Structure 1
Amino acid sequence: MKDSRKEMRRPLQSGEQTSTRRLESSVFILSVTVVGVYWIVDSLLFAMTTANGTFFYRFFHPGMDEVLSRLLVICFFVFFGSHVAHTLRQRQEADEALAGVEEKHRTIIENIEDGYYEIEPTGRFAVFNDSFRRITGYPADQLRQLDYRRLLTPAETEKVIGVFNKVDRTGRATKDLGFVIVRKDGALRWVETSVSPIRGQGGVNAGYRGILRDVTRRRQADALKQEKMAAEAASRSKSEFLANMSHEIRTPLNAIIGMVELLLGSSLSHEQREDLKVVHSAAYSLLAVINDILDFSKIEAGKLELERSAFNLRDFLGEALKILAVKAHEKDLELAYRVAPDVPDRLFGDAHRFRQVLLNLVGNALKFTDSGEIVVLAQKKSIQGNRLVLQVAVRDTGVGIATGKQALIFEAFRQADGSTSRKYGGTGLGLAVSSQLVKLMGGQIAVKSELGKGSIFHFTVDFDVDEEFMAIDGTVLPDEIDPTGLRVLVVDDNATNLKILCEMLASWKAVPRPAASVKEARALLEKENNNGTGFELVLIDSDLARPGALSLVKTIQASAEKPARIIVMLTTKTVKETDRFQEAGACATVTKPVRPSDLLDAIIQALYADEPGFQMPEGRSSLGPDLTLPPLDLLVAEDTPFNQKFIRRLLENWHCRVTIVESGRLAIDALAHHDFDVVLMDVQMPEMDGLTATARIRELEKGTGRHVPIIAMTAHAMRGDRERCIDAGMDEYVSKPISSASLIETIRRVVPLFEKDPEQEGSKALPVSADDGGELKALLAAFNNDSDFFKDVADMFISDYPPMVNTIHRAIDKKDRELLRRTAHALKGMARNFQVDDAADAALQLEQAADREAFDEAQNLSRKLGDELKAFESHLRKMIAAVGDGRSGKRAEG
């Protein structure tokens, strides 16, 4: 506390002690001096007044009376001095006690966290402690000159001045006065203070004093508490809202997606098919957004729980990536994955959430990568007992992310920057959800990236390892299959995929030899044939650069007496060319990204299919799953008209008999009068919901020995929905929008199936004449073997491409980058539809040149594109004529 009197107190006390001691000594000396002077004077007077008296006689021989009087004087002075000294000591002790109390109070006031202040009647601060200065933010010299009104906001000034006036008028203190002050730095702080009057002589107002407390944090905490309560209430409302909205949005989406899928399976014109594909894609995009929002909400509320099931890592990764393979191959991107050999294959964990994270990262990589490759790498970070920490990385060659933006992308609704968001779209939730899911699975996620050089997203997850498969890398070879020493030529122009394939073959103890081009492959074949060894198996990528994979297959078939067995690795773009490769001599095909089990199946088929009595080993098949159904009698309880229509069409396409009712009560009535094989029960219906109806059905079945399988159909996707359905007595659960594959698999799980009817194997290809090496047959297959559809689209192509080529020339002349890019992109799609790969590649290069504004390069590419299309036009006209001849022949036969 700033008070100069306290600074002088210690020297004053020291002086008082010295003065007291001096006074005691002075009184004693004075008394002795007075007695001595009196003694001398008395002796002189005696000598002067007495005839025979002398000074010395009187001085040394005083009478008894004189001695007593002199002693009395000394005692008087000693007593007086002692009294004075005692009085001074009492005063000193009182001063010291007062000083101690003041020092104690001063120390307390200086060290309390609250501010202490005294204000003069003029309004200036007379006394204050350090806490007061800290709260107000002013230094001491400025605070002494400051009027307290300067600390108040305009809104608070009148209130505070009124309280001070009331204290002055009543003489009573006021407590808990709350108001806002403005610090020197301009910050606002909530404070509470007490105000007491200071009275001077005669009761005159001498100012005010009080204790000032900063309660800003308490106010903020109270506000946060209120906000938390409001947020919890909002969270409860949000959960209810999300559950209802999930149902309301998914229900029409179910009809949209289902009906579009049914229409896509029918005969359509090219424009109709393309428009429906846009609708289909948009519906699934909307569904993905809904799923992200629901997952994010569940994670945010702490209500997302992980499941635990067994899965095989290598096959799981292959299946997951095949979902995105179509999009990757449409962009001419190589999509591959590699699992390190020392990673156990049989794992326990939440495969669904693991897939969700993986697809989010790969999907992002696809979105931001226009050329190159996307590779998923899985390796063992650590393993203790049966607990595996798996490290997964998704590496792309895309646009990359600026260093300063890398932390933002894992936040909800955030992307690298606004322009990228507008160009590529997306909600910004995918990575936020992935980050939270990885944390739930015991791992961490991060990114390494550089602008223009791609990105590597890597994360870790914890899994339990099946102890029986602890040392197995995933591909168990059948006893009768031994690829040890098998000489294999692997041809792939992507270095990463080439390395992965060779590593896979080497793990089976085969002897792979890599080749990065057709030219290199031919050189290795010639060298091995000259050495007399040759290759027993050749693995060829279908997307090799010219002269292409088909040319290499034909070369191998023609170059040796006993040609090597050939496996072709197809992409989703070239899978329709399977027949062409098989006719050229390929023994088996496998779709990229290549799973080890698929490759092993293809090797077995290629090497042993011609042997008498050959059968694929048990548990292995080169065919896809059988998704046919027997003619079941199904009851569908569904209240929404467009869902009724979709379900009826879907089930009738599977040759099932369908009865539809609109409520749970009607479903109970229908079951009372007819035996159904399966019941598809919507959960949310009027009159009686699906859960209540199922519980009632199970009650009625007691004692009868019957049990009709009931499959729940619900648009709810919140935590616990599946459990509630199963607890109610349902056998299985499918969520809306209903996937046809998911529904048929679910039905297959609850009812026994009959043998597949051979007559339902599918339609035979249309008879065509003059098929050029199977090319027309493959092209017709891409058009669902619909010759009318093929002819219409072909005629449209012939009429549309010349004006588009002219538009490209005009765009180059005007240096119109956007027009050039857009037209080249459209021509690329048209060429891909007709499998004109050379023209499509030229259009792609032209599109890329437009992006770079390389108009000189574009001029040469446009001429090349025109030449390719013109050459294909004459070839296409021959195929149109061949299709017409085939139809005529067919009509003639009829």
Structure 2
Amino acid sequence: MGTSYSPPLNTDGTPDLERLLVEHRFLTESIHASSLPIAIYDDQDVLFIWNEAYEVLFQKAFDELREQLNSQQARYADIVRATNEGTMSDADLEEYVARRVAAQRAPEGTTIERHYPEDGWFRIHKSVTPSGAVSDIAIDINELKQREEAIAAAQEKAGEERRRLENALEALEDGFAIYDADDRLRVFNSKFIEMHSQLSDVLKAGETFESLVRIGIQRNLWDLDDEDPEEWLQNLLRNRRENDTFESIAKFQDGRWMRRLETKTPDGERVGIRADITDAKMREFDLEDARADAETATRAKSEFLANMSHEIRTPMNGVLGMAELLSRTELDAKQQEFADIIMKSGNALLTIINDVLDFSKIDAGQLVLNTQPTHLGEIVGDVATLVAATAAEREVELITRIDPGLPENVIADGGRIRQILINIVGNAVKFTQKGHVYIEVFGPIYGEVAEVTFKIEDTGIGIPEDSLDKIFESFNQVDSSATRKFEGTGLGLAICTRLVGLMGGKIGVDSQEGKGSTFWFTVNLPVHGEIPKKVRPEADISSSRVLLVDDNDINLSILKEQAASWNLSVSAVSGGPQAMKALWSAVESGTPYDLVILDYHMPQMDGAMVAQCIRNDARLSGTKIIMLSSADGSVANPAISELKLEGHLVKPVRAAVLQDTLTSVLSNEKAAVPACSPQAPGAPAALTLADLVANAQAAEERKSPKMQANEPPAQNDVEKPDWEPPAEPEEPRQEEPGDTNALDILVAEDNDINQVVFTQILQETPYSFKIVPDGAEAVACYESNHPKLILMDVSMPEMNGMDAAKAIRELEETTGAHVPIVGVTANALRGDREKCLAVGMDDYLAKPVSPAMLKQKIADWLEAAAEAANTA
């Protein structure tokens, strides 16, 4: 609330001076009569009115400034300076004076509290008048300060008691909390917060027990063991309400265990203890863990036995089945087929047995490395040779490269390195449907030791990310389901890991599912220089011009690297049309190529077509040709033999073999190679690049199975070469028994060898039959052919036998029919029969299946089915 003042005026509007003097006297007398210290400063901060109480309060200043006061020249700054002189340094004093003067005229006024040695505490209020004057009024607050000091002392004492209580609570090893009568949290220690760290932001005084527990449930703090969260919470609250002393055990999601213990006090509060009992629980679980470990070991043995049973019994079924059939036949073409199957099955069994033996030796610490001088190139070449045929069958490009900087000879157990490579490269080929498998050997040399890395890259199916960390474990497979396509013991990579470890090396894998994998292992091998290198021919082939033709960039890169190391002048192109263009360009420039290294398998124009074009062109008559092909016999036909190639090598080509071949071809009558000359009279006209492409496309169309019967072949106006690629032979169609709807027996079996076994056995019976490779086709065939009996293999890709049996039984629920299903499995362990029966199968056969046993089983079930049909 403010005040207002109107100065007295005469009737003519002029100030009433007499009245003004009276009012001034009244004001002055009022100020002097007040017991409160009062002073007024003018608009220049000059002190011009004060009372005795104010002078007493600032006695020191007034004594020093008497002359200025009498002449009304003492300013507020002088009063502040004189009052505080000697209590601080000159610099600090001037800074303090400046602050007080600045605050003197704050529009909203100022209030300060000061303690004066003689008079104690005063609170001074400063107000600025409209005319610019400043009024000071001081109030004695000594009594107020004494009360405040008394309160502060009491608070300090209470705080000390509280600190002592808090220290006692903090010293506890357990969490401590007090809830009031309304179940609100009031007191808790840091251990309580630590045990509920995920609730640290909401652990505040006033929060209810229920709200804290609900938040904990929302934040997934506790392991509720699949119990409904609301039901778990209500059980906890009910038990807590109904018991003055409450105890419960809680498990946290991070694996900790906690005991809650609460006691209700007479005034309704609850005192709670939270104890971490994780260690006690772990000790409690020790016996359970020991039992679980024993069960796991037993389970591992059973799984191993199941895997081994399956993997051994599958080839054994072929071995024993074919052996029995072979014993009842004459030595004719069929016998030869049986003999081949026996060999395949025997080899499969031998591989598995060897894996088991190796793993057993390594596990028992009985395997000793046999280190001796070893040729790295020969190891890689041997491995490539072993898997080349399989790679070619799958149309997978097999590529090898050995870093030229590596020593040829090292001290190592070459047999074990070869074993590791065969396993990894074999897997790479097996799991690659298209693309390539690339074997690379490289690494630095440190003094007398080479750090050799073997890298095997493929473009196969890849490995799921969640399987990468266990791919090298024993008895582990990327796909261990019953529908897996690729069989194996799961020991191969585990053995590789152990062998690399025995060599003091490291092994690893990088993979992306659907894009391929890169396996690698690195070992330190001492360099050995005592094995004499093979003496190469001394013929000088340096600077010979060589054209490399291959559609695979990796192949081109490796060939260029090798040729450059032999001082050859190298160019490279990625296809037939580009090759012909390069050859013609070289002829026109007067620098023809001496040799073309030509890949056979290429799109648009294959190697044979390019070679034919070279042979048909008189300008290229001096160009020699070396053909590279996979081990599939693609160039072992009369048409290509007529091309009279200077060399034919099977990929992957060992560097030494390639160098020897190049030296032989290029040095053979090198001086007699005719120089470039104009086309001879009467020679066939050279084809343009467009002609070559057109002819290649026409050839592809003639071979394409997609050409419609009424579609005319492509026609070209240009002259075609005399030679055309030989037509691919049509595969004979093999009619299966049971192609009609009337079907006696349906066999579901994915293994091609076992399919042959079933075929040979069933052909000796009067029954019609059909064989399908997986469960999905078995279900489809059941719906269309209505067989009288189904022989169902349990482990198959896409859909396994168990799922197929379930699907068939579900279909039968709508028709009321029931076809006998006999499960066929290679596991043959206790419980397998029960598993088959549980999914709706009627019977069970364990592999290997003998012909007599199979025929008897078929006869029994078909007779039973016939009797059931007659009585229906």
Question: Do the structures match in fold with TM over 0.5?
Answer: no
TM-score, with structure 2 as normaliser: 0.43
The structure where helix makes up a greater share of residues is 1
TM-score, with structure 1 as normaliser: 0.42
